[in-house]
């Protein structure tokens, strides 16, 4: 029950009605029995600075950020973590005595299912302690989501990180941006889609960061059948999309012996990482958050 003592958390975006975050965070808050509530706050682009002042005035403890504020909020924060600066985007903000501080939990969310045993129904996952130093990562797309994946693959220690995109100029700028980054990535190579078949045959980890295959175009895949045939049995194929579940990309890869991880797990894990910050807890009920999302999406 919301009371006068209830502390506020939330998500800001424009639009924000589609956000799945309230479902998973409020399920965790209820399970923990803490006096918090997580609310969606629609904030127009021109109102971002005013919203931050208003949140501080009414004692909001922290909030998530979705489109279009992830980059725009950077200059408004008192402190930004190195990982958020490297990615160039903030997705989690929390209040300290210094003011509003920002970080990015997408990397932690991306890495979680790769660093722990798989949890049903997720079939992917590499057991903790796996040696990635001899493994090749291939990332489809070179947008904002790809930046978090590159940072994650660098943290894993992948031997090679290959990013595939359509524009040579954008790819060159993407690669250059990591040279002087707070998290320099030395083993990053960029390619146009013409090289995809060759890269897939080498991939130990293949990640889709593009929107191809997202609802309502769930029958599409970023990789055509002839190219996905080249995936190695046992390779991990990871799609950041969570609706449909599984995507056509993951279904095609599983038919060829690959292990699949879907975007719902990354969404849950990045949310769990944020909730730990806001509640100052070492652990939160990830299973409860995952189940709440699956029910919300009609997957159970």
Q: What angle do CA 188, 257, 141 make, to 5 degrees?
A: 30
Can you tell me the distance from the alpha carbon of 8 to that of 117, in angstroms, rounded to the nearest whole number?
A: 34
Nearest CA among 27, 212, 237 for reference residue 137: 237
Q: Where are the beta strands (DSSP E) in the chain?
A: 7-13, 36-42, 62-65, 79-80, 92-96, 99-103, 136-140, 160-165, 188-192, 205-208, 236-239, 259-261
Left (φ > 0), alpha (ψ -120 to 50) or beta: where does 129 sit? left
- To the query of whether residue 70 is one of the catalytic residues in this protein, the response is yes
Cis peptide before 15 (omega within 30 of 0): yes
Do the Cβ atoms of 52 and 107 come closer than 8 Å? no
Q: Which of 7, 70, 98, 251 is catalytic?
A: 70
Can you tell me the distance from the alpha carbon of 28 to that of 31, in angstroms, rounded to the nearest whole number?
A: 5
Catalytic residues: 70
């Amino acid at each position: 029950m919301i009371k006068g003592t209830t502390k506020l958390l939330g998500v800001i975006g424009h639009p924000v009605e589609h956000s799945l975050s309230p479902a998973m965070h409020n399920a965790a808050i209820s399970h923990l029995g803490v006096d918090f509530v997580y609310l969606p706050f629609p904030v127009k682009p021109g109102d971002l600075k005013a919203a931050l002042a208003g949140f501080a005035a009414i004692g909001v403890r922290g909030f998530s950020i979705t489109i279009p504020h992830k980059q725009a909020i950077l200059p408004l924060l008192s402190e930004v973590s190195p990982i958020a600066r490297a990615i160039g985007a903030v997705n989690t903000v929390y209040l300290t005595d210094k003011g509003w501080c920002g970080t990015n939990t997408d990397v932690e969310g991306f890495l979680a299912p790769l660093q722990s045993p798989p949890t049903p129904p997720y079939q992917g996952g590499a057991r903790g302690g796996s040696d990635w130093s001899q493994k090749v990562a291939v990332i489809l797309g070179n947008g904002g989501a790809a930046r978090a994946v590159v940072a994650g693959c660098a943290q894993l220690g992948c031997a090679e990180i290959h990013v595939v995109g359509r524009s040579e100029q954008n790819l060159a700028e993407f690669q250059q941006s990591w040279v002087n980054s707070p998290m320099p990535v030395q083993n990053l190579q960029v390619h146009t889609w013409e090289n995809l078949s060759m890269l897939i045959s080498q991939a130990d980890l293949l990640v889709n960061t593009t929107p191809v295959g997202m609802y309502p175009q769930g029958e599409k895949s970023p990789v055509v059948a002839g190219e996905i045939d080249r995936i190695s049995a046992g390779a991990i194929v990871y799609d950041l999309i969570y609706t449909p579940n599984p995507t056509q990309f993951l279904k095609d890869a599983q038919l060829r012996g690959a292990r699949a991880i879907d975007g719902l797990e990354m969404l849950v894990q990045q949310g769990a990482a944020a909730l730990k910050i806001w509640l100052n807890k070492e652990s939160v009920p990830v299973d409860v958050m995952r189940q709440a999302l699956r029910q919300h999406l009609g997957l159970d």
